[in-house]
Structure 1
Amino acid sequence: MKNRIVLLLIVVIAAAAAGFAFYAAKDQGHENAAGVSVHTESGDKLLVSITNTDLLTKYYENDKVIHEEKLTSYPAFALDQKQQVLYYTGNNDQNEMRLFKLDLKSNQKTMLYKGAESADSLFLSKDRSTIYFRLGKADESNFRIAAFDLKTKKYKNLYPAVKDQDDSVSSFFYNKKTDSFAMLHYSVEEDYKKTDEANEKGIDPEPTTIHFAAGRQTQFDELKSLDQFISDIAVSDDDKRILFTSYTQKGTEQTASIQMLNADTKKYETIISNQKSFKLLIDAQPQFSMDGKNIYFLAEAKGAKKLKDETGREAKVRTIYSYNLENKTYKKVWENPNGIINSFFVIN
């Protein structure tokens, strides 16, 4: 996976290419941002990472900028609301991953870890003692779930087993309410095989089988397997409903939909598809609102503004929408026309 492009890396590469490059470092403190439109549901708060054409990444809590910095890697971050601490990653000139802790009250930044590993999808544990993240190593083809102890400043492997070089985690979600995980995982060997076959025949690749699993650190139960391109996962507070983005691919054309899986019955259905007013991203990052009545997701609005960064790469502005499960209505929730949203989390 480190030296060749496989099917499940397409999502990561597309996300990075659609955003902008990141480098250097600067902090501007808190400010309210002009041009940001926020209309969340039932008092929900969103933590949003967005990068502008000057390659500056800003972190928002709703419409308030809590930090900004030119980064060297795709942003991964988590917020401790109680202590007002932002955890985030960035690379140095040697391309080493660094994990930072930023005290938002004092603006004091501390580097917690530096290493050759890659880290994304940060989640703060329920007791705020641990950062869970997706771990990648240069000498391994698969990705793992790992836990970084904020006291000892060391991490340990959670899944798969240390000796397992084939099972790879493509996406995971940590549910703070139940202190549990949901994840998507797949076989690296199968992924390579299907990619090679497609390249040899000059055809579109077949999707690698994606396995859904859920549980706690020591025990994961398999829920379902699907032969689909699937890019992300999230769960409801009670772990009963699982959201994921599925997409089809024909040549360069990709069509996404947001699905919901019932964890008990193992049945799933399409909840959100493309509308006249927007087009779903293949990494739509669907998440439930705090009351479970709405789904937040990423899409490109019709007529979305196109931005170009200083490297010449172009991308369309992304918008966070909400979908009301009862009324089946859509609403624009978070938008900033001056940058590209990288990712977001529901935090309250």
Structure 2
Amino acid sequence: MVQKRKLGKELEVSAISLGTMTMPNNEESVRTIQGALDLGVTMFDTADFYGDPEFRRFGENEKLVGRALKSRRGEAIIATKFGITHGQGPKGDPAYIKKSVDASLYSLGLDYIDLYYQHRPDPNTPIEETVGTLADLVQQGKIRYIGLSEAPADIIRRAHAVHPITAVETEYSLWSREVEDEVLPVLKELGIGLVPYSPLGRGFLTGQIKKPEDLPADDYRHRFPRFQGENFVKNVEVASLVEKLAGQKGCTPAQLSLAWLLAQGEQIVPIPGTKRLDRVQENLGALNVKLTADDLTEIERISPKGIASGSRFRQA
């Protein structure tokens, strides 16, 4: 049985859950999602704009998640997000939220959402107004729990003062440890869960990427600085050290990386994304990897904070 962890004070989910962003809406993806549920994964993460990189129609990935899980609704925790727009910046005003939640419910084919995140803070709407609207949706039964994504520590504090925040989703891995500076301490203080996305460094920490040609020509990762030029070369060097240590521990690099994340706090639930069920099974194997104090020291030596070469996102 897959270990469980709590996000916030109430929401219990599998200690490793599943990100669905890269999944196409096809039968193989349905089988992967349903197979993950069979293996013990209980939380599935999507967003209203996933599955449509051109922003021409929202809800494509939500439709996949909904049809895969609708018949087993009672077994699954479904998390989705609102607030990313095409060319208008993040949104969080009451009218936009009300429209977005109804659209997501329609795409999912469900009558409630377990965990509803604001995808990015809206600089033009006070977080108190955003969270107040989300609290109303909780009262209406449209959502059960409220989350934030990529929110700074001060926004998290202000939001939590209006209504309990259950989880904050942000990038966190051996590759990206910025969250440790201010956000993670606040989450631990307030009892809020942390849901790391890209916990395997967008694939670098799987040991499967050795050269640029290992990624398809149209892979979106080519656009990120860490996958370009000298940054790529330096990052592969570090990833190879993680791979070597994993071999010594008798596990895969992905399992070592996830085990390290899990060791950073009991309220941390990573959501590695994959299209393949065998990768889901591999990732769950991280729950059986026991890291000693010496292991953690060695991991810190070979992959200290700030080791990744290049910024997380493309520069505007």
Q: TM-score, normalised by structure 1?
A: 0.26
- The structure with the largest helix share of the pair is 2
Report 1 or 2 for greater relative contact order, CA contacts < 8 Å, sequence distance ≥ 6: 2
- The structure with the largest strand share of the pair is 1
Q: TM-score, normalised by structure 2?
A: 0.28
